[in-house]
Amino acid sequence: MKHFLTLADLTAAEMHHILNLAVRIKQEWQAGNAPTYLKDKVLGMIFQKPSLRTRVSFDVAMLQLGGNGLYLSPNEIQLGKRESVADVARVLSRYVNVLMARVFAHEDIVELAKYAGVPVINGLSDYVHPCQGMADFLTILEHKGTFQGKKLTYVGDGNNVATSLLFGATLLGMDFTIAAPQGYGLHPAVWDMGRRLAAASGARIVVTYDPLEAFVDADVIYTDTWTSMGQEAETELRRKVFPPYQVNEDKLRYAKEDVIVMHCLPAHRGEEITDAVADGPHSVLFDQAENRLHAQKAILVWCMEAD
């Protein structure tokens, strides 16, 4: 059984396979073909957090692949409260063919996978956002053609999205730079994993507090909200700390002329990114959003295909 919990669990070959599968499925869809890879299969979708892209993209993915998605709201499940995570996993495994969960604590997704009798996909946890990561690297592949010799710069809070970008880039051999304020970087354990992956792929990792240094010669600039769900009490403090890390037209001048700008959305326009950049010629924000659909189709098929 194959679970999809974090990009760091994959081999480079597996990640390339999923990306190639996503490219093929997207091309088939664009050509008007509708291969029913998951005919009559059912995806159970557990949500502890609200969602636009995750819910709709997984629901539509299953529909277009010939299956069905079943939405389970926070009130219906209440993981670990109304019923233990282990029991939820055991029960739902008797009803559905694959599970996707969007949770607060990463431990919950790990426990779901431990007790489930079907593949489990991490739709988001406080540790990583691997589905977003796959959509991001699919988007980079489409716009840049390769990962080798390319520089991905992440600017802002060292959150779950940044973690998945580090893992994915170092798996694929893409250079990764992060600029975050002091005290808001990635966890040391995340760096340990990233360095191990980079040692195997030859990727280069750079950490800086200077956003302008990070922008220099970047092929990809990526940012995310300064305050993630569950951190609302820190909002005002973060609004004072993060403005130097805003992605705007002035900073883009330090990057390569053909740089692409990415954001996983939802965006707080005027904070981490300006309207001029989000809607400008370098923006691929909505390509990313679309690619959640195609990347997740590939993840679903990969989880249920035979080794």
From the list 136, 157, 219, 224, the catalytic residue is 224
From the list 108, 264, 294, 303, the catalytic residue is 264
Tokens 């664009």 correspond to 30
DSSP3 helix / strand / coil % (the chain, rounded to 5): 45, 15, 35
192 is catalytic: no
From the list 53, 102, 238, 294, the catalytic residue is 102
Beta strands 151-155 and 220-223, pairing class: parallel
From the list 132, 246, 288, 296, the catalytic residue is 132
SS3 148: coil
- Asked if the bond preceding 266 is cis, omega within 30° of 0, the reply is yes
Alpha helices in 85-158 (DSSP H): 85-93, 106-115, 130-144
What CA–CA distances, in Å, run from 47 to 106, 184, 223, 239?
A: 13, 27, 24, 28
Contact (CB, 8 A) for 145 and 122:
no
264 is catalytic: yes
16 is catalytic: no
What CA–CA distances, in Å, run from 257 to 218, 230, 241?
A: 9, 37, 29
> Which residues partner with 121 through β-bridges?
4, 100
- For residue 135, give both structure tokens: 């959509």
Give the CA dihedral 108, 109, 112, 117, nearest 10 degrees. Answer: 180
Rounded to 5 degrees, what are φ and ψ at 222? -130, 135
From the list 292, 294, 296, 303, the catalytic residue is 292
196 is catalytic: no
- Give the number of other CB atoms < 10 A from CB of residue 196: 11
Contact (CB, 8 A) for 160 and 228:
yes
Active site residues: 102, 129, 132, 224, 264, 292
